[in-house]
Amino acid sequence: MKESFLPVEDEKARVLLLGSLPGDASLSLAEYYGHPRNAFWPIMGELLGFFPQLPYEARLNFLKLRGIALWDVVSRAYRRGSLDSDIREAEPNDIPALLRRCPGIVRIGCNGGAAYTLLKKFYPELFRNEVWEIVRLPSTSPAAAMISYSAKRDAYASFLKELIGETE
């Protein structure tokens, strides 16, 4: 049984980025996107203007300062290894409660297809609500190597454009 982390949230958040469930490297470090080849922190650093090698708490503060909340769709599940396709008996995090605590959130980005599919499975009502725009973003996982770093960065830049200004 593997469990996700607490959410990174701020009542001023305008965007929520959702993963599926932390992988083994992240769990061992107790950090979101802890695998050294995961593109999440390099992309966020590039788009938000910080060094991705900063201490973890400093990186989280950069997200919060820019209006970004972070969590996972799955609260706990059985999974051997780190592949999303191996998630079994998933239990959801209370995403609606987080959205109530952070009423400024208007966009939800799902980091990869599994996060998007699981969110739709557990909370289909979120997709029918006109308050939130929900976007499936490319996975930043090294397992999604068929998508280039630049394509991932461009997708996140487009999604976050209102927070970071105009993208190139």
Strands 74-78 and 68-72: unpaired
| Backbone torsion region of residue 109, taken as left when φ is above 0, otherwise alpha when ψ lies between -120 and 50, otherwise beta | beta
Q: How far apart are CA 58 and CA 161, in angstroms?
A: 22
Catalytic one of 38, 61, 93, 129: 38
Angstrom distances, CA of residue 126 to CA of 34, 41, 97, 160: 28, 27, 12, 20
Q: Is 61 a catalytic residue?
A: no
Residues catalogued as catalytic: 38
